Amino acid sequence: MKTVYFDNAATTQMREEVITSMAEVMQNNYGNPSSSHSFGRSSKSLVESCRKTIASFFNVSASEIIFTSGGTEADNLVLRSAVRDLGVSHIITSKIEHHAVLHTIEQLVIEHNLQVSFVNVDANGTIDYVELEKLLQIQENTLVSLMHVNNEIGNILDLKRVGDLCKANNALFHTDAVQGVGHYYMDLQDLQIDFFAASAHKFHGPKGVGFAFIRKNTGLKPLIFGGEQERGLRAGTESVHNIVGIETALKFAYDNLESESEYLKNLKLYFIDKLSEAVPEIAFNGLSKNLEKSTYTLVNVCLPVDPQKATMLLFQLDLKGIACSKGSACQSGSSRGSHVLGEILSDEDMQKPSVRFSFSIYNTKAEIDYVVDVLNELINA
């Protein structure tokens, strides 16, 4: 059976070079980085070299990169510590954020006397920047948490505009950049971002490792206590092979960004054209059809299928060897629909199946042809 993997927003295939670099470390650099002997010093040197390389891509100092188990831990570290340690009493966010942010904020509301403001989004999922500026007038210690690239509909946040608004109003700015890092440049000397989260497995690196950018002198304190690893902000022995994996993956991502992003833009446009031609009644959710305002890595479509047929669509695609998703992989066990689409679609459209197709450099136009043919067949069956 032919198989097609179009769920790269959930996770990506690791590059061969990443696997090779990690295997070498696991075999040769197994010392604990906190040990003072030569084996430990060798591992420590690798960790710090990777930290320095990663920092260079964002034009920040190495001390501002803190390795974590992934984006979720990085989001938790920033949000929870900001409320506990920095006196943040007001968080501005949106209802279409990743659950790593939304559920953390929900818990913080329970634990602390915290005020939360949800900035409006329009029918395309675009943040209302004018309302955001008004919300920033609230005289509280405020942190804004808005994601760089929405993981379901692909909308891109104007990081420069939000950062400048936050700076002008003495607010902190955190962005979940999990879907953006490795796909877009971020110069942190130009952008007024105080914190962001990244995860290796979104740009062809290993699962289980990511990092938080924490701008120096913000005063955050650790969530995990024990040793003094990661500048004292995250106790626990560093996963050296994973850290080398994320550095290798990020290096390949940025070294090849122009050619690979161009390839993916053409692939996305081809998918949009082919699908629109085959299924004229199709609708594109959010701004996912717009290459200027959405990421080139995904498309989210609402298919013209009645509710009865909709319940089996993903299962039927899976039977045809096609991997895609109805939303975030983190909520795949939930019986509820997408909270993101629930904010922007009508009740009628929510009864239809919406599917996210997300691409990588390992996908081809031939695979798109196959997926479009299968969709056309299932819709018209």
pLDDT tens for each residue of 209-234? 999 999 998 889 888 999 999 989 99
pLDDT tens digits for range 77-94: 999 999 999 999 999 999
Q: Across the chain, what does the average pLDDT equal?
A: 95
| Gap between the terminal Cα atoms of the chain | 20
Band of pLDDT at residue 334, cut at 50, 70 and 90: very low
Exposed, middle or buried: residue 350 (CB in 10 Å: 0-12, 13-18, 19+)? Answer: middle
Q: Are 153 and 58 in contact (CB under 8 A)?
A: no
Residue spans of the domains in the chain: they are: 4-12+257-379, 16-255
Q: In this prediction, what percent of the chain has a pLDDT beyond 70? A: 97
Q: Quick one: average pLDDT of 353-360? A: 96
* pLDDT at position 159 over 60: yes
Dihedral sign for Cα atoms in the order 158, 163, 168, 171:
positive
The CA distance from 121 to 285, in Å, is 13
Q: What is the structure's pLDDT at 143? A: 98
Is CATH 3.40.640.10 the classification given to domain 16-255? Answer: yes
**In degrees rounded to 5, what are phi and psi of residue 316?**
-65, -40
Q: What is the structure's pLDDT at 333? A: 46
The CA distance from 196 to 146, in Å, is 10
pLDDT tens digits for range 26-72: 999 999 999 999 999 999 999 999 999 999 999 999 999 999 999 99
Band of pLDDT at residue 134, cut at 50, 70 and 90: very high
The CA distance from 262 to 42, in Å, is 38
pTM as predicted: 0.95
Q: What is the structure's pLDDT at 328? A: 53
Q: Are 176 and 196 in contact (CB under 8 A)?
A: yes
* pLDDT at position 21 over 50: yes
Taking alpha carbons only, the member of 250, 270, 107 closest to residue 183 is 250
Q: If DSSP codes are grouped into helix, strand and coil, which group holds residue 71?
A: helix
Pairing of strands 298-302, 354-358: antiparallel
Q: Which residue has the higher pLDDT, 24 or 329?
A: 24
Q: What is the structure's pLDDT at 381? A: 73
Q: Quick one: average pLDDT of 153-177? A: 98
Q: Which residues are catalytic?
A: 330
Band of pLDDT at residue 331, cut at 50, 70 and 90: very low
Q: What is the structure's pLDDT at 92? A: 98
Domain range 4-12+257-379, its CATH number among 3.40.50.970, 3.90.1150.10, 1.20.1640.10, 1.10.357.10: 3.90.1150.10
Q: If DSSP codes are grouped into helix, strand and coil, which group holds residue 265?
A: helix
Taking alpha carbons only, the member of 107, 99, 105, 183 closest to residue 144 is 105
Band of pLDDT at residue 327, cut at 50, 70 and 90: low
Q: Quick one: average pLDDT of 253-279? A: 98
Q: Quick one: average pLDDT of 4-10? A: 98
* pLDDT at position 365 over 70: yes
Three-point CA angle 185, 186, 188, nearest 5°: 155
pLDDT tens digits for range 97-123: 999 999 999 999 999 989 999 999 999
Q: What is the structure's pLDDT at 104? A: 98
The alpha-carbon radius of gyration of the chain (Å, integer) is: 21
pLDDT tens digits for range 286-295: 999 999 999 9
Q: Do 4-12+257-379 and 16-255 share a fold?
A: no
Q: What is the structure's pLDDT at 312? A: 86
Q: In this prediction, what percent of the chain has a pLDDT beyond 90? A: 89
